[in-house]
Amino acid sequence: MKYRYLGNSGLKITELVYGNWLTHGSQVEKDTALECIKAALDAGITSFDTADVYANGEAERILGKGLKGLRREGLEVFTKVYWPVGEKGPNDVGLSRKHIMEGIDGSLRRLKMDYVDVYQAHRYDTETPLEETMNAFADVVHSGKALYIGVSEWSADQIRAGVAYARDLGIQLISSQPQYNMLWRVIEPWVQPTCEELGVTQICWSPIAQGVLTGKYLPGQRPPKGSRATDEHGGASTIKSYLRDDVITRVQKLRPIADEVGLSLAQLAVAWVLQNPNVSAAIIGASRPEQITENVGASGAVIPPELMAKIDEVLGDAVVRDPMKTIERAPKVRPA
C-alpha cells in the first residue's frame, strides 16, 4: 500500500482510505463490518474515514471497536461534523461553536480515542459566520483533540476563505473531501486548481460511483440482490442518479480498457481517481471483506495516457462536469 502526503503537511496517509458511510451500523451487520475493518488493515490500509452522522454515531462506535488495541500512532483517523446527530435538537447540527465543541467530544467518545488526525466540516454552514466556525476548529486543534482540519463538498471560494482564516489562527486546513470519479468531475474546473494553489489535496469519496463503475449493473436488467441499488436504508436513493441505461451501457464499454491494463472495472475506476492531479486518496467502502481485497489492487496501478483519453472518449457526455453542481447541491440552510 502506497502512502501520499495530505495537503501541504507532513502527514502521510494511505492512498486508499477505508470509509464506512452507508455500511457500518446500517447496510451490514456488526460482525461483517468488523471483518471489513480487519481486511482493510490486512491489506495495509492505515487511514480510516467516518462521520458522526453515519448511522447516527453507530459507524464511529464500530470503527472504534475495530481499531481497538492497535497502535494509535500507526493509524490516521478522520471524522466529520455538520449534519444532524443525537437527539437532533436545534443545536445538534451545523458548524456553530457549540455544535463543533460538543461534536468532537461525542466523536472521540464513540471512537474511544484521544484525538482524530483530521476533523472535517461535512458541509458549509450558511447560518454560522465562518469566523466562528474556524475559531472553534482552531480551539479543537489547539486542545489536541484534532491535528488538522479539512472540509467536504465546499466550493472553491469557501475553501479559499477557510484556508485564509486557518492560517491566521495558526492551524492547517489540508484536505477537501468531494465526490469524484470517472462520471462525476465537477471539481476539476474550480475546486482542484484552487486547492492546488492553496496546498490542499483531495480525499475522494465514491470513486466507483457507489458501485456503478464495477460493471455489475446491466442495462435493462434488475439490480443484483444485495447491491446498493436494493438497499432501502439509503443506498438505493444515493445511487439512483447513476442508474440510467445510457450510463451503464457506456460503463460496460470500459471493459476492454480494464483488460488491457490487467485490472477489474472497479480497480480501473479507483486507479483513475488516484492518477488525477491534486488527489491524495480515494475512499473505498465495503459490505464484504472481499470487496476490499479487490479494490486494493488499484494501489500503484498506472493507466497510460492514451487509455486515460480513451476513457473520456467512451464515457462522452455521460460525464457530469458542471462546477456549479458543488454549489447547487450544497445545503442552503441547515437541515432540520
Q: Quick: pLDDT tens for 102-124.
A: 999 999 999 999 999 999 999 99
CA distance 325 to 97: 28
pLDDT value for 227: 61
Report residue 243's pLDDT band, with 50, 70 and 90 as the boundaries: confident
Q: What is the 3-state secondary structure (H, E, C) of the chain?
A: CCEEECCCCCCEEECEEEECCCCECCCECHHHHHHHHHHHHHCCCCEEECCCCHHHHHHHHHHHHHHCCCCHHHCEEEEEECCCCCCCCCCCCCCCHHHHHHHHHHHHHHHCCCCEEEEEECCCCCCCCHHHHHHHHHHHHHCCCEEEEEECCCCHHHHHHHHHHHHHHCCCEEEECCECCCCECCCCCCHHHHHHHHCCEEEEECCCHHHHHHCCCCCCCCCCCCCHHHCCCCHHHHHHHHCCHHHHHHHHCCHHHHHHCCCCHHHHHHHHHHCCCCEEEEEECCCCHHHHHHHHHHCCCCCCHHHHHHHHHHHHHHCECCCHHHHHCCCCCCCC
Q: State yes or no: pLDDT of 196 exceeds 70.
A: yes
Q: Please state, in angstroms and as integers, the Cα–Cα distance from residue 318 to each residue in 9, 74, 181, 210, 255, following that order.
A: 36, 40, 12, 16, 16
Q: State yes or no: pLDDT of 128 exceeds 70.
A: yes
Number of independent structural domains in the chain: 1
Read off the CATH number of the domain in which 72 is found. 3.20.20.100
Q: Which of 36-50, 84-98, 172-186, 216-230 has the least mean pLDDT? A: 216-230
Whole-number percent of the chain with pLDDT over 90:
85
Give the mean model confidence (pLDDT) for residues 288-304: 94
> Residue 268: inside a domain, yes or no?
yes
CA distance 96 to 85: 14
Per-chain mean pLDDT for the chain:
93
Give the mean model confidence (pLDDT) for residues 283-306: 94
**How does pLDDT run across 265-278, given as a tens digit for each residue?**
999 999 999 999 99
CA distance 281 to 278: 9
Active site residue 54: yes
Q: State yes or no: pLDDT of 238 exceeds 80.
A: no
Give the mean model confidence (pLDDT) for residues 118-144: 98
Domain interval for residue 139: 3-328
pLDDT value for 231: 60
pLDDT value for 76: 98
pLDDT value for 37: 96
Give the mean model confidence (pLDDT) for residues 225-249: 70
Report residue 236's pLDDT band, with 50, 70 and 90 as the boundaries: low
Q: State yes or no: pLDDT of 134 exceeds 80.
A: yes
Closest CA to 310 of 248, 246, 254: 254
Among candidate residues 3, 18, 54, 119, the one labeled active-site is 54
> Residue 202: inside a domain, yes or no?
yes
Please give the single-letter amino acid code of residue 218.
Answer: L
Q: Give the residue, 12 or 216, on which the prediction is more confident.
A: 12
Closest CA to 215 of 268, 179, 262: 268
The torsion region of residue 153 among left (phi > 0), alpha (psi -120 to 50) and beta comes to left
> Residue 164: inside a domain, yes or no?
yes
Give the mean model confidence (pLDDT) for residues 276-303: 94
> Residue 336: inside a domain, yes or no?
no
Q: State yes or no: pLDDT of 188 exceeds 80.
A: yes
Report residue 336's pLDDT band, with 50, 70 and 90 as the boundaries: confident
Q: State yes or no: pLDDT of 96 exceeds 90.
A: yes
Q: Please state, in angstroms and as integers, the Cα–Cα distance from residue 118 to each residue in 163, 194, 239, 330, following that order.
A: 15, 20, 27, 22
Q: State yes or no: pLDDT of 216 exceeds 80.
A: yes
> Residue 137: inside a domain, yes or no?
yes
Backbone angles phi, psi at 148, to 5 degrees: -140, 170
pLDDT value for 228: 57
CA distance 169 to 187: 27
**How does pLDDT run across 34-90, given as a tens digit for each residue?**
999 999 999 999 999 999 999 999 999 999 999 999 999 999 999 999 999 999 999
Report residue 2's pLDDT band, with 50, 70 and 90 as the boundaries: very high
Report residue 235's pLDDT band, with 50, 70 and 90 as the boundaries: low
User: Under a CB-based contact definition with an 8 Å cutoff, are residues 183 and 209 in contact?
Assistant: yes
